[in-house]
Amino acid sequence: MGKRYRKAIGELQLELVRLQHGLRSSGKRLLVIFEGRDAAGKGGTIKAITESLDTRGYRIAALGKPSEEEATQWYFQRYVAHLPSAGEFVLFDRSWYNRAVVEPAMGFCTVAQYEAFLDAVPAFEKLLADDGIILVKYWLAVDQAEQEQRFAERADDPLKRWKLSPVDLAARQKYAEMGKLRDVMIERTHADHAPWFVVDFNNQKRGRINLIRHLLQQVPLHEEAVPKVKLPKLKGKPRGEHVTGKALWVPDTLQESTD
């Protein structure tokens, strides 16, 4: 699937650049929420989406544990600060829906807080939609056997061990419970203005392609081609880089191959 994947993702990334251009020219605001089980592939998908985008036109919101001050605020308050401005694309790597699945499963919120959240979400998201924000919500689905294999790969790879938090490890024993909480979340917060879409991520590359293609179908702002840029001719010959001797050059340590 390597060549097919690279060809497909390249084509979709071009469409995403057009989408970003369409958002800027129209002033529309796009908010996409990525939820799912640990190791489902949220981070990799967000990276694939943003890889070719102008960094000034999108933001990734991946909020950590709330501070003591934030814990006393209106629950949605710290998330509101990350909502998109005109022409902007914001991607939430987990979101306010922590209170719908992770927090109740791990005992981080009370039953009353959980119920109050589910009651408040439809009205909160309706306010966002009524103000013109395009809101799309994805749940990345992965079977437990596949999830366990990815956990094992992370545990074995020192470059990926940081991805295994204490909460991730504790949540391994709550696969069924979190599935029930997910279903309640979807049933109580799915709406025409803020729909939930489920994507099969047992194969991460296939999941990324399907999700990105689906996202582009939800936001028809990528039909206009990105304007071409004509580079004016340089005056004179290209110059070399001559830096003042006060600066210190970093040594070139890469060994060139003699093959």
Confidence of residue 21 (pLDDT cuts 50, 70, 90): very high
Give exposure, 145-162, as e/b (b: 16+ Cβ within 10 Å).
ebbeebbeebeeeeeeee
Residues contacting 150, CB < 8 A, separation 6+:
39, 142
Interval 183-235: pLDDT, tens: 999 999 999 999 999 999 999 999 999 999 999 999 988 877 888 999 999 99
What DSSP character marks residue 75? T
Say which DSSP state 99 is in: G
Q: Is 226 left (phi over 0), alpha (psi -120 to 50) or beta?
A: beta
**30 pLDDT above the threshold of 70:** yes
CB-CB neighbours of 107 under 10 Å: 8
β-bridge mates for residue 60, sequence order: 91
What one-character DSSP code corresponds to residue 142?
A: -
Q: What percentage of the chain exceeds 70 in pLDDT? A: 98
d(CA 133, CA 129): 5
Predicted confidence band at 259 (pLDDT cuts at 50, 70, 90)? low
Q: What average pLDDT score do residues 89-118 get?
A: 97
Whole-angstrom CA distances from 214 to 53, 158, 199, 242 are 18, 34, 10, 49
Q: Which CA distances in Å does 61 have to 144, 149, 192, 226?
A: 26, 27, 24, 26
Distance CA 211, CA 209 (A): 6
Find, among 26, 19, 190, 32, the residue nearest to 100 by Cα: 190
At 205 the pLDDT is 97
Q: What is residue 167's predicted lDDT score, i.e. its pLDDT?
A: 86
| Better pLDDT: 176 or 163 | 176
Assign 33 to helix, strand or coil. strand
**Which token pair is 182?**
């997910």
Answer positive or negative: Cα dihedral of 22, 200, 194, 61: negative
